[in-house]
Amino acid sequence: MSKLFVVTFARGGSKGLSNKNIKLLNGKPLLTYSLNVAKELANVEAVFVSTDSGEIAKVAKQYNAQVIERPSDLATDTANEWDAWQHSVMYLKQNYNMQDDDLFLSLPCTSPLRTKEDIEKLVSEFECSQADLALCVSESTRNPFFNMVTLNSDKYAQVVCDVGQFHRRQDVPPVFDITTVGYVTTAQFVLAADSVLSGSTLGVEIPKSHSVDIDDQCDFDFAEVLIKRRG
């Protein structure tokens, strides 16, 4: 039976919101929302935090997560997080006997409204599929076939996907936003590929209210309102 390794990636720098990953959200560091969901999952081999920050590492250890020290070149604003995924998988293979067919589950810090049930659904649907990777999606409020536009050099608007046949939102093909709620794949695929869309990618739909992605203070404030409402 494949083992499940959970990793949260939390670098120290953040341009949109200073110290975002350990900023207190409703009294708890943002990072801990991911760790708490990971701990609720069944059959988890271990929970890890990949970080370049001593402060983040300290919080991770306080919540009983193992720390993967991320090289500084994998923690810049321009670094590709997939490279950090590969670094973590190689670390787990070398130090925790991770095998090629074991599951790698990434739970980004920035989705504190995810639930255990969302992630259980993600993992379950991936295991029942032939996909290389599964990620969470939610239905988009904007649609490139109807109310998303580009502006030309004279600032005239044109629908992104202008097929000239849709006049009501109800008629357009549904489109989905990729969320940061969770990603699951195998160790083998992480090392062989170069992005989440490199192979066959399964989209697992979750409620939009669970998929808030914190990038700036506005997102943070909105998430806090929803968390307090959830109680």
pLDDT of residue 167: 60
Cα-trace Rg, the chain: 19
- Mean pLDDT, residues 176-185 taken together: 95
Of 178, 175, 179, 167, the closest CA to residue 144 belongs to 175
For 68-128, the three-class secondary structure string (H helix, E strand, C coil) is EECCHHHCCCCCCHHHHHHHHHHHHHHHCCCCCCCEEEECCCCCCCCCHHHHHHHHHHHHC
Amino acid at 113: L
Domains of the chain: 4-140+175-230 (3.90.550.10), 141-174 (no CATH)
- CA separation for the pair 38, 43 (Å, rounded): 10
pLDDT digits (tens, 9 = 90+) for 13-37: 766 677 899 999 999 999 999 999 9
pLDDT digits (tens, 9 = 90+) for 191-223: 999 999 999 999 999 999 999 999 999 999 999
pTM of the model: 0.90
Q: Using the predicted structure, report yes or no on whether residue 53 has a pLDDT greater than 70.
A: yes
Reported as a pLDDT band with limits 50, 70 and 90, residue 225 is very high
* Pair 51, 19: CB distance under 8 Å: no
pLDDT of residue 231: 73
Q: Using the predicted structure, report yes or no on whether residue 123 has a pLDDT greater than 70.
A: yes
Of 104, 85, 114, the closest CA to residue 195 belongs to 85
End-to-end CA distance of the chain: 37
Q: Is 224 exposed, middle or buried, given 0-12, 13-18 or 19+ CB atoms closer than 10 A?
A: middle
Q: Which residue bears the tokens 């097929």?
A: 163
CB neighbour list of residue 195: distance below 8 Å, 6 or more residues apart: 82
Reported as a pLDDT band with limits 50, 70 and 90, residue 169 is low
Query: Read out DSSP for 195-216?
Result: STTSS-EEEEE--GGG-----S
CA distances 205 to 140, 146, 199, Å, are: 11, 21, 19
3-state SS assignment for residue 165: coil
